[in-house]
Structure 1
Amino acid sequence: MTTNTVADVAVASLHAMGVGTLADFRSLYTDDAINREALAEPPDARGTGPDALFATAAWLRTAFSDLSWEVHEVVQEGDLVVIHSTMSGRQTGPFVSFTPDAKVAVAFPPRGRTFSVTQTHWMRTKGDRVSEHWANRDDLGMSQQLGWNPATPLYLCRMLLASRRERSKAARA
């Protein structure tokens, strides 16, 4: 990935979530990089550094195919980069949310639906790499587009079964 400015690095790190390799993440994130949004993510995404951020990408890619971000605006002030974007994709796998103590909270089984929601990503940089990330997302809009909310009685049953399945997998791991 070719980058020229800190803003380019931040934008590249966002696009890497959809298609980047672990090598890409290692070139884009500092060894102590932190994702402030990882509290509802799997345990391996809660650490620091490129491997933890790549685990976030793997978690998203497990649930969503055709995952991409359209960048609308980028603002840089010193070591802070803000990106206004639209995230889109199609849910083809279960989306699993986790509790603060890293247990499976709920699993949303796939329905094959697409979504497109706006997000604002804030990234702090050190040198020529991203060291910190946090975001504002339209999670309600996404859940409505994917049919999670309001859930039909049948979908609630599917969620219950998917959540049990994911908890069983986590217990065996």
Structure 2
Amino acid sequence: MSTTAEMSAADVAVRSIMIMADGERTDFDELIHPEAVNHEGRIEPPASRAPGPAGFYATALWLRTAFAELAYEVHHVVADGNLVAVNSTISGRHVAPFVVYTSEGEVDTVFPPTGKTFASTQSHWFRLQDGKVLEHWANRDDMGQSKQLGWIPPTPAYLFRMARAKSRAKRAAK
């Protein structure tokens, strides 16, 4: 793999998406600025809200825990200086509880595993500094993903499973 100094801004942005599915911590250290901010971290686990590579790696682990076979397909990339936009599709299979958090870092909602697969579009926006990701924003088709995974409309049985999973997650967080 090339160093970020040898990679274009578009290459850095695309690679930073791909490592969410399969990258090691060292990949995050290479691509993510020490002061990087993920502006989408407000519903993620508290560890994901940390700045820099540690926070981005925690997000990857959060996603990988809930979704097996996690993959990204990049469709379009547009770069203008240190700003990069990436249109992509995320896919995977829901195999473990997906826990969503409040802005205070408390367990908010838990979606128990359905075993179903999904593929949903996402647009990612990056600002780079020193050849590394400094800021990240995303627009996702969460509604489409939720429908594919059977989260909405929820059946009464699934609502019961959600309540039970939330109770377990809250106990585990203590």
TM-score (norm 2): 0.97
Question: Gapped runs of 5+ residues in structure 2?
Answer: none
Given the alignment of the two structures, is residue 122 of structure 1 paired with residue 125 of structure 2, yes or no?
yes
Counterpart selection for 1:33 from 36, 42, 50: 36
Question: Gapped runs of 5+ residues in structure 1?
Answer: none
Separation (CA, whole Å) in 1 of partners of 2:110 and 2:129: 36
The answer for the alignment partner of 1:154 in structure 2 is 157
The answer for the alignment partner of 2:78 in structure 1 is 75
Identity of aligned residues (%): 50
Q: What does 1:44-83 correspond to in 2, within 5 Å?
A: 44-83=47-86
Letter in 2 for 1:140: M
Separation (CA, whole Å) in 2 of partners of 1:69 and 1:127: 25
Q: Does the 8 Å contact 2:9/2:81 carry over to 1?
A: no
CA deviation string 1:25-55 (max 9, x = no partner): 0000000000000000000111100001100
Counterpart selection for 1:140 from 133, 140, 143: 143
The answer for the alignment partner of 2:18 in structure 1 is 15
Letter in 1 for 2:131: D
Separation (CA, whole Å) in 2 of partners of 1:107 and 1:74: 33
Counterpart selection for 1:106 from 106, 109, 117: 109
After TM superposition, which residue ranges in structure 1, 4 or more long, deviate above 6 angstroms?
Answer: none
Letter in 1 for 2:117: T
Separation (CA, whole Å) in 2 of partners of 1:58 and 1:156: 26
